[in-house]
Amino acid sequence: MKPLHLTIVLTLLLHSFIYKAQYIPFPESNALWVVSWGTSYQSSMYHYELTGDTLLGLTNYHKLESAGKVSYNFAPNDPQFYNAGYVGAYRNDTLAKKVFYIPKDSVTEMLLYDFNLAVGDTVRGYMEQIAKDKFGPTFFAVIDSVDSVLVNGSFRKRWHFHSSVWLPGSIIEGIGSTYGLLESLIPRFDDNGQLYCYSQDGISLYGGSCLLVTDIEKKIAVENDVMIYPNPIVNAKSITINTSRNKNIKFEVYSLLGKRCYPNFKKNKNEFIVETSSLPNSTYLFLIKKEEIVTQKIIVLKQIK
């Protein structure tokens, strides 16, 4: 047993050494944060998107732009879309493990995230300032614990904090706060939200499928417009993919093992008639492509003979 114990200890020490060396900085391109937020009278969903670099003084920063929608309780089915445009820019100091931010209409750089914080440290910088602007000068937020979380195959450090207002929160290395990129310390009981998702290079790393807010609306519209029937398919010779508007729909069929299938089909004005004779009894994934949006439907095929 001694060699086994030694192996375990060495493995843990090696993991600790590697983990400490693998600081993951903030993204510098192709990143998207989507935030959902609500109060007692409205709800909103908006995104922050990296849209290129800019020189502020002699220093290179990464630009953030924002857009979203607001829905009011008195008219929940009539959301108001907006485009805030440029909201600010940040830069990485990778050696110091910090991120600095200059808000729109400001020339003053502020600390956005400090990924060196230890238990008992107070959160400082831009996050603290906007919280004090909202809650008053006595506001504070303190780190309670530090652990790690697995993100896309890599461990990232995570800081848990409590504040002088009602809700605690967390900050993840290279992603930001679980309340939102710029919203970290300001939620309260009747005015709060969350980081809905985060993606980099088109890959969702936190939360669900991450799209621009306008694309999320398109995806919902496509899902509501496309119908596939019958489902499940029992002793039916065909399946119909129907849309109320002819928008150049395309579809692909895959088995549960990821193999693409090529059933015969006929296309009418607003629908496809897909023959089932070449598909064995199984469950299939139908990918529907419409207006540059991809949605998926699970179809169960069972032919009883």
Per-residue pLDDT tens digits for 217-248: 555 555 556 777 777 777 778 888 877 655 56
Q: Is residue 61 over pLDDT 80? A: yes
Handedness of CA 173, 178, 183, 189 (dihedral sign): negative
Contacts of 208 (CB under 8 A, 6+ apart): 196, 197
Place of tokens 């506001």: 139
DSSP 16-74: HHHHHH---PPPSSSEEEEEEEEESSEEEEEEEEEEEEEEETTEEEEEEEEEEEEEETT
| pLDDT of the residue at 18 | 40
Bridge partners for 267 per DSSP: 272
Of 24-38, 111-125, 210-224, least confident by mean pLDDT is 210-224
Q: Is residue 89 over pLDDT 80? A: yes
The CATH architecture to which 217-302 belongs is Sandwich (2.60)
Query: Two tokens at 122?
Result: 């107070």
| pLDDT of the residue at 290 | 66
pTM of the predicted protein model: 0.65
| pLDDT of the residue at 21 | 47
Q: Is residue 23 over pLDDT 50? A: yes
Domain ranges of the chain: 24-210, 217-302
Per-residue pLDDT tens digits for 186-198: 877 677 888 888 9
Nearest to 241 by CA among 183, 180, 281, 286: 286
- Helices (DSSP H) in the chain: which residue ranges? 2-21, 126-135, 213-225
Q: How many CB atoms lie within 10 A of CB 221?
A: 14
Q: Is residue 114 a contact partner of residue 120, using CB atoms and an 8 Å limit?
A: no
Handedness of CA 169, 173, 175, 176 (dihedral sign): positive
Of 2-6, 97-101, 259-263, least confident by mean pLDDT is 2-6
